[in-house]
Structure 1
C-alpha cells in the first residue's frame, strides 16, 4: 500500500460500519472517506465494504486481510509515539495562518495572547489566497493552519468546526432608520454595501439580496471587510456583516447593529489542516492553541 493514510480509512470503516461515522471520527469529510475507499478498492481489486441495509459490511476478502492491515496500523502508531516531544517554550517557529482580514480582527488578538503565554519566542505570519493556493500551502507545509469559512477546502484536509456565526445589519449612528424597526421592505429599499470575499464561502449573501429584490440597491461592492465601516460613516448604506466582526468594529466606530430581516443561514468557522501534518506534535499543539483562542474570541 503506497499511501499509509488509507489504513486509517480501512480501520475506521471496519470499526464504524458507516462512511459518515468514519468521516466524523477521522475528522474529514464523507467525500474524503469515499475517495479513500475507492482507492482501496482499486488497489486490492475487491469491493472490501458493501452496503447492507444501513451498515457497511466487510467482504470475505476484507475479513481475510483485516488482521494484517490493522496490525500494520498499530506498528505505524507505535512509530508515531516515538516522535520527539514538542516543548512550546523552546519553539522559535514562525507559524503561518491563512485567514482574511475578518479573522485578523476577530480572532488574531486572542491567538497572539495565547501564543505569547505558551511560546513567547514563536511568531505569527498571516496570508490569504484562493482555495487552490490554500490547499497547496497546507499540503506543502508553507501554511500551518487555515481559519475561516472554507466549505470547498476538502482534498486530504482535516477540519474541525470551532463556532457558528450569523449575519446582522450594520448602519451608522444617526442613520434615518436608526430609530425605526428594520423591516424587510425598509432594508431592501436602502442602498447596500456588499463585501464579496471571492475565496471564501460567503456567497449566499448576494444571492439572498438579489432574490429579495435588492439587486438595484447594491451600491458598492468591495473584496475586503475593513474599509466598510469608513464607507458607512459618510453614507446611509446598510451593511450585512458577520455578528462577531460587527461586534468588534462597533467598539471603535459609531455603528449600530440590528437584527437582519433577510433570512440567511448561519455559517461555520473552522480550522483546516493537511493530513500530512495531522499527527505532527508541533502542528497538533498549534491547532489546540488556535482552537481555544477562537472560542475565547467569540465568547468575549
Structure 2
C-alpha cells in the first residue's frame, strides 16, 4: 500500500461510487465504464489496500471495516479535487458562487459596481462582489498574491512586467457648486473659479494630481479651504457652502440633483484614462477571464457619466 503511484483517480472514483451504490453494476453505469472494467478496477483496489473492501451479500455488497474507515477521507479528497482543481478548468457563471474581489476608489465603487451587480444578477446570480481596499503602493503585490482579482481605475504606477491591463474609457473633470450659490448661477468663469474657496480631495487615487498639474502648467493657483481624504462627504459640503469642488465627471453626474450644479471646468480639463488591471498568473483562470470580458462589455468606450440616461439613478433620484 506504499506505492501511491499505482492508485490512479479512476480507482478512487470507483471506490467512492461503491460506497454509495453498494452495487458494482450501478457504479459502472454511474462512471460510464463497462462492468468488466469496473471488476478489474475493484481487483486493483483490493490488491493495493490488501483488503477485500466490499463483500457480496444477498442484497448487493457490504463494505469491510477497513473500507468504512477510508470512505470519508476518499470522498473528501475527491471533493477537494472537484472544487479546487476541476473548477479552475471549467467556469459556469450561472451556477458559480465564487466571490469577485475588486479594488477601486470610492468613486469607482459608485460608478463601476452598480452596472456590474446588475449584470451579475442576470448572468451569475449566486456570485457576489467584495471591494478590497488596497494602498496604491501595495496594489501590484496584492494582484500577484491573488488578494484581488482585478483593479479598476486610474493607476499610472501599475506597470509591472506581469501586470495585464485593458483601457476602458477616458473621462474628464467637472466643478460642483451649490445650487444656491449667490454668485455662480448660469456658468462658471475662470475668474469666479480662482476667487472661490475650494475643497480638495487627497484620496489614494491619482486622478486629482492630473488637475493640479494642469493648473500648475497654466500658472494658476486656487485658494484651498478644505482638504478631505475621500469624496463621500463632498456633495453635502458643497451644497451647504459657497466652496467649489473639482471632481471626476462621473461623480459630478452622480450628484447633479443633490442641491448641486455641475459645470465644466473653466480650463481645458485633462482626461483620466481608466483601465482594468490583473496579474498575468490569473490569465488562465476561467472566472477571471470571464470577469474581464464582462467588465469590458460593460465599460469599454462607455463613460459612466452617461449611465444615468441608460437607466441608472443617482442617490438624489431615489426615494422611499
**TM-score relative to the length of structure 1:** 0.67
Structure 2 residue 233 is matched with structure 1 residue 227 = yes
3-state secondary structure, aligned to 2:165: strand
Q: Is the CA contact 2:170–2:273 (under 8 Å) kept in the aligned structure 1?
A: yes
Tell me the CA shift for residue 286 of structure 1: 0.9
Residue in structure 2 matched with residue 285 of structure 1 by the alignment: 290
Partner of 2:195: 189
- Counterpart Cα distance in 2 of 1:235 and 1:101: 23
Q: 2:155 aligns with which of 150, 154, 161?
A: 150
Residues 100-151 of structure 1 show CA distances to partners (whole Å, capped at 9, x for unaligned) of 1101111111011111211111110002222232111111111000000111
Question: Structure 1's 261 and 216: CA in aligned 2 closer, same or farther, altered over 3 A?
Answer: closer
Asked if 1:164 is matched to 2:161, the reply is no
SS at match of 2:284: coil
Q: How much is the aligned-residue C-alpha RMSD, in angstroms?
A: 2.0
Measured after TM superposition, the shift of residue 84 of structure 1 is 2.5
Give yes or no for the alignment of 1:106 onto 2:117: no
- The residue correspondences of 1:20-169 to structure 2 (distance < 5 A) are 84-155=89-160, 156-169=162-175
TM-score (norm 2): 0.63
Give unpaired runs (5+ residues) of structure 2: 1-87, 308-320
Specify every segment of 5 or more residues in structure 1 that has no aligned partner in the other structure, as ranges: 1-82
Shift in Å, 1:298: 4.4
Instruction: Determine the C-alpha separation between the residues in 1 that align with 2:222 and 2:274.
Output: 30
How many residues end up aligned between the 2 structures?
Answer: 217
Per the TM alignment, residue 215 of structure 1 is displaced from its structure 2 partner at its CA by 4.4
The answer as to whether partners of 1:188 and 1:213 remain within 8 angstroms in 2 is no
Distance in 2 (CA, whole Å) between partners of 1:201 and 1:171 is: 20
Greater relative CO, 1 or 2 (CA 8 Å, sep 6+): 1
Moved >6 Å (runs of 4+): none
The structure with the larger Rg is 2
Q: How many angstroms apart in 2 are the aligned matches of 1:189 and 1:203? A: 21
For the structure 1 residues 214 and 236, does the alpha-carbon distance in structure 2 shift closer, same or farther, using more than 3 Å as the test?
Answer: farther
Query: 1:162 & 1:132 partners in 2: Cα distance?
Result: 22
Partners of 1:118 and 1:177 in 2: CA distance:
49
**CA-CA distance at 1:224 after TM superposition:** 0.6
